[in-house]
Amino acid sequence: MASLEINGQSIELDEEGYLVDLGSWTPEVGEALAKAEDVELTDEHWDIINFLREYYEEYQIAPAVRVLTKAVGKRLGKAKGNSKYLYSLFPYGPGKQACKYAGLPKPTGCV
């Protein structure tokens, strides 16, 4: 099984690089997961990551891209609530990639 070394601690990842134990997430873990894919997280990334974590806290599911887009638009404004903006931040797919850095499972129905 893959793992991520951070501050001397080993954090387990599944075969696709998502956290095995969602409770092991910290912002540092998020940074490290992004860095492993050569992504430097900006405030704009964090807006989405924090939003996803709040969404998961409330509903216990990682939202599909369509739902994420709509919800981000409502929360952060129309300029950010569109797939072009979200894909510019997370080119591998806002659902898959952002959820990974946020320490959430891969969204159900994400293709």
User: Catalytic residue at 110?
Assistant: yes
Question: Which range binds another protein by CB under 8 A, 2-10, 45-53, 81-89, 102-110?
Answer: 102-110
Shortest CA distance to 60 belongs to which of 86, 12, 22? Answer: 22
25-64: contacts with another protein (CB under 8 A): 58-61, 63-64
Residue 10, C-beta contacts closer than 8 angstroms, at least 6 positions apart: 3, 4
109 binds another protein (CB under 8 A): yes
110 binds another protein (CB under 8 A): yes
Contact 108, 66 (CB under 8 A): no
Residues in contact with another protein by the rule CB under 8 A: 58-61, 63-64, 66-67, 70-71, 108-111
